[in-house]
Structures are given as C-alpha cells and as structure tokens.
C-alpha cells in the first residue's frame, strides 16, 4: 500500500485521460446546418429540370448553327443547387451577364456568357470564321452589345419553348452588366438552381451559365408533377403499335345477347317445363354483342351453314 508510482506509470495515467477526453469531444461534435439555405428543392424535381434543359441545349445548338451559319455545338454540363454568392464566384471577370425577368412569376434569373465564346460569336457575326483560339479578356462595347441582341433573342426563345412543357415563362432581359458582382438581383445567401452549358465553335470553347431562384422553382412543384403524370398517360404511336402486336395473340369471349324483360323471384321459382317466356324484343331491333362482358357491337343473329352466327351491323 505504501508503494510509490514511477514516472512512467504517472505518464500512462495522464495519457489515458487525454485519450478519453478526445473520444468524448469527438462524439459530441455535431454536423453544421446552414439555416440560411432552406429553399433547396427535391432531387426528383432537380432531375426534371435536368431533362428540361437537356432538350433546351439540343434545340439551341440547331437554332444557333442556323443563325450563325456556322456549326456550333451545345452540351449540358451541370445542374446543381448553389447560393447566389457561390454562383457569382464561379464566373469570370469581366463577362457578359444579364438579369432576366420571369413573368408572370416574381423575381429574376441570371444569364451569363463567357468572353471566351462571346468574341468568337461576334467574329462570326461580323463575317469571320470564329475559329481563332486566341482568348480576348476585355469588356464588350455598346456596339457589341447591340450585335448580341439577336443571339440573346434566340437563346430566350428556345428557353421559353423548353419551359412551356411545365409552365409558360416570358424571359426578357431587364439589365446587362460586365462585372458579376455588380448584378445584385438576388440576396447572396439565396438558393439558386445553376445550369452550366458548354458552347463550342471551331477551336473556341466557352460556358453559358444560368441561375434561377430555387423559391420560384419550388412554386412550380405541382406543375412538374402534372407534367410527368401527363407524360405517363400519353403514349407514342410506336408504343401503341408495339402493344397491339403483343396483344394480337390474346383471346377474348364474344356473347350475342338478347336482353329480355325483368322477372320477379316468385315467378322465377314457379317456372315449369313447357312455360313460355316473352322477351318483349321486336325482331327489327338489333341485338347486343359483348366482348369480355362489355358492349362493343350491335347486330343480328343469322343462319350460316346450319349454324347460328352474329352479323355485325
């Protein structure tokens, strides 16, 4: 009982206490939750937006190629949820960024085109080939802004057509800036759905970025559900032909039925051999032909090669 502890034993005791405190603090450590980002939308709705913009970029590639008379490819790169501040941080400076109205909905969306694709498109519009790989890092001029009106008109038209399957939105340009930080149409912490689109002409590649307020898209949730329910209800002609081909070998039951008068249970129980029942059905009236118990045709009972047959009228 009077034995003294050595220095090594004392150090071992304190090491055990430190390990225990470390494990306790690690167990008590929680996961941070950002209460400023409550406008996040469901993954199913995000997938629907991805499919919607996938259709948009396919149509846009054809429209811009015809407008510029030069082959231009457009690919959907990403659809994700960010804060507006994070969206702006990912944009180059200077650039061409516009504020879009969303009538009849309140709020604004943002559309940005990188200088790396803006200047090749301007070169094509002015008669060049737009295939120069040189990157121009400067602000666009007022004259160049006017030249881009036709380009933005085509982009917004195809965007409106793509969204028409869900709801009608009238996209229109309300403001244009050259620095992303100057376009403060949304609060920095407000959640947005960011869409990244890659555009390529010749050896030049650039991005077109769009951002829509998540709260506006959440308001359309019921419209997205109606869109998918309508799509499930409708079927293409090829699908109908395929189903018909599968069902051709199935068998159904046909009944030629002569509907008679109603009869009470008392009269039914008193029926005997030799009694006559009146159907009260004129000879000129058509009979019913039922397919699997459902009325499909009208016709008459006829004789055919010593057998009874049903002639469809």
**3-class secondary-structure state, position 199:** strand
For residue 215, the number of C-alpha atoms closer than 13 Å in the C-beta half-sphere is: 14
Instruction: State the pLDDT at residue 198.
Output: 93
Q: Do 155 and 50 meet the contact criterion of CB atoms below 8 Å apart? A: no
3-state secondary structure of 93: coil
What pLDDT is recorded for position 33?
A: 58
Hey, what CATH topology would domain 43-233 get? Chemotaxis protein chec (3.40.1550)
Position 23 scores a pLDDT of 54
Interacting residues of 161 by C-beta distance below 8 A, sequence separation 6+: 56, 59
Q: Which residues contact 123 (CB under 8 A, 6 or more apart)?
A: 129, 130, 132
Delimiting residues of CATH 2.30.330.10 domain(s) in the chain: 251-267+280-313
Residues of the chain with pLDDT under 70: 1-3, 5, 17-40, 130-135, 223-236
What pLDDT score was predicted for residue 195? 93
100, with CB counted inside 10 A (0-12, 13-18, 19+), is buried
Contact 176, 96 (CB under 8 A): yes
* Distance, CA of 253 to chain centre: 43
Domain range 251-267+280-313, CATH class: mainly beta
Which distant-in-sequence residues (6+ apart) come within 8 Å of 298 by Cβ? 286, 287, 288, 289, 312, 313
CA angle 44, 33, 211 (to 5 degrees): 50
**Residue 2 tokens, joined:** 């009077």
Entry pTM: 0.59
Structure-block tokens of residue 275: 């009694």
Residue 153, token pair as written in the block: 């008109």
Token pair recorded at residue 77 = 């790169």
pLDDT for position 268? 82
From residue 57, give the alpha-carbon distance in Å to each of 7, 45, 230: 73, 19, 23
Residues 266/273, Cβ–Cβ less than 8 Å: no
Here the tokens at position 205 are: 């590649």
Give me the pLDDT at residue 228, please.
52
> Taking a C-beta distance cutoff of 8 angstroms, is the pair 101, 175 a contact?
no
| Burial of 260: CB neighbours in 10 Å, binned 0-12, 13-18, 19+ | exposed
Per-residue model confidence (pLDDT) at position 29? 60
Query: 240: which residues sit within 8 A by CB, 6+ positions away?
Result: none
Identify the bridge partners of residue 299 per DSSP, sorted by sequence position: 287, 312
Query: What 8-state DSSP symbol labels residue 292?
Result: T
170-177, strands of its sheet edge to edge? 73-83, 191-201, 204-213, 108-113, 96-103, 170-177
Sign (positive or negative) of CA dihedral 168, 174, 176, 180? negative
**What tens digit of pLDDT does each residue of 200-214 get?**
887 888 899 999 988
């Amino acid at each position: 009982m009077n034995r003294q502890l050595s220095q090594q034993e004392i150090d071992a005791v304190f090491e055990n206490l430190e390990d225990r405190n470390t494990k306790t603090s690690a167990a008590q450590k929680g996961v941070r939750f950002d209460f400023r980002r409550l406008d996040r939308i469901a993954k199913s709705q995000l997938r629907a937006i991805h499919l919607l913009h996938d259709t948009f970029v396919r149509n846009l590639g054809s429209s811009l190629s015809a407008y510029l008379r030069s082959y231009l490819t457009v690919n959907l790169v990403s659809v994700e949820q960010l804060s507006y501040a994070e969206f702006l941080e990912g944009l180059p400076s200077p650039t061409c960024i516009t504020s879009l109205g969303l009538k009849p909905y309140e709020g604004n969306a943002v559309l940005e085109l990188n200088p790396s694709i803006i200047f090749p498109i301007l070169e094509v519009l002015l008669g060049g080939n737009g295939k120069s790989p040189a990157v121009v890092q400067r602000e666009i001029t007022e004259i160049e802004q006017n030249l881009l009106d036709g380009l933005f008109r085509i982009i917004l038209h195809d965007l409106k057509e793509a969204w028409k399957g869900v709801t009608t939105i009238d996209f229109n340009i309300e403001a244009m800036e050259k620095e992303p930080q100057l376009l403060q149409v949304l609060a920095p912490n407000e959640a947005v759905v960011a869409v990244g689109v890659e555009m390529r002409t010749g050896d030049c590649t650039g991005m077109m970025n769009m951002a829509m307020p998540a709260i506006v898209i959440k308001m359309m949730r019921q419209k997205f559900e109606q869109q998918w329910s309508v799509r499930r209800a409708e079927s293409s002609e090829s699908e109908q032909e395929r189903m018909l081909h599968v069902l051709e070998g199935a068998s159904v039951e046909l009944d030629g039925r002569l509907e008679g008068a109603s009869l009470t249970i008392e009269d039914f129980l008193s029926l005997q051999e030799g009694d006559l029942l009146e159907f009260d059905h004129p000879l000129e009236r058509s009979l019913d032909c039922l397919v699997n118990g459902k009325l499909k045709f009208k016709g008459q009972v006829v004789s055919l090669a010593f057998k009874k047959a049903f002639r469809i009228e």
